[in-house]
Structure 1
Amino acid sequence: MSDPTVEVPPNTRGPLHLVVAWASGKSIVGRSLKVAEDVADSLRMHAEAAVASLTSPAPYAADADLEDDSHFEAERSVLMDELLLEEVAKANSLPLATIDELRHRNLLCHAVLIGRADNRCMFVRKRSPIQLAKKSMIATLMDGTLDRVSTPIFAFDDRYDAIITPTKLFILNKNAFEGLFKESEAILARTGEWVDDVAQSVSMTEGSTEILVSTLRRNQFLRRKFLAVRERPHVKQMTPRMLKEEIVRNGLSVDDLMMGDQLIVTPSNVKLVLQLLNEDLFIGGFTQGHYAAGSKRSMS
Structure 2
Amino acid sequence: MTKNFLSIVIPLYNKQNSIRRAIESVLVQSYQNFEIIIVNDGSTDDSLLEVERIKDPRITLISINNSGVAFARNLGIDKARSKYVCLLDGDDEYYTEFLAEINKMISVNSNCSLYSCRYEVVDSKGHLKIGNLSLEVNYFGIVSDFYKEYSRSRSLVCSSSVCINKDLFNKVGGFPVGKKTGEDIYVWLNLNLLAPTFFSSKILSLIHQDAENRTNTRVQREVPYHLYYYLFLNFDSADKRIISYCYKSSVIQSVDALFNRNIHVFNLYLNMFKEKFYSTYIFLKFLRFFPVRLISIVKNIRDKITVKVKG
User: What's the TM-score, normalizing by structure 1?
Assistant: 0.28
More contact order relative to length (CA 8 Å, sep ≥ 6): 2
Structure with the larger helix share: 2
TM-score (norm 2): 0.27
